Amino acid sequence: MTCEVCGARLIPEPGFYDGAMYISYAFSVALVITSLVAMNVLVQKPELWMYLTTVVVLNITLLPAMLRYSKTLYQYAVGKLKYRGE
């Protein structure tokens, strides 16, 4: 299956989702580090349950966006898909 406008193949190659998983993992690690730094800056002496709750809630909330953007970034980085602005 190909796009009628740009001719891009719309069937993912083998290993596409494995590669996108690594980018999603990097997003998750960045989110954890950012939230931990924010907790240290904003809260005086945060406890362990505050760290864990914040990380779990943010990760579950942002998981759909992280998965979508990881697939998109992987497709642009490794695939032959090129962005053409109109």
pTM to 2 decimal places: 0.75
Q: For residue 39, is it within any domain?
A: yes
Q: For residue 84, is it within any domain?
A: no
Residue holding tokens 């642009």? 76
Report whether pLDDT(7) > 90: no
pLDDT, one tens digit per residue, over 35-79 is 999 999 998 888 999 999 999 999 999 999 999 999 988 888 877
Tokens of 74: 């992987």
Total domains in the chain come to: 1
2: β partners: 9
Q: For residue 53, is it within any domain?
A: yes
Q: For residue 2, is it within any domain?
A: no
Expressed as residue numbers, the domain containing 26 is: 16-78
Report whether pLDDT(86) > 60: no
Q: For residue 26, is it within any domain?
A: yes
SS3 content of the chain, % helix, strand, coil (to 5): 65, 0, 30
pLDDT, one tens digit per residue, over 22-42 is 999 999 999 999 999 999 999
Q: For residue 1, is it within any domain?
A: no
Sign of CA dihedral 10, 13, 18, 24: negative
Do 20 and 70 contact (CB within 8 A), yes or no? yes
Q: For residue 36, is it within any domain?
A: yes
The pLDDT of residue 5: 81
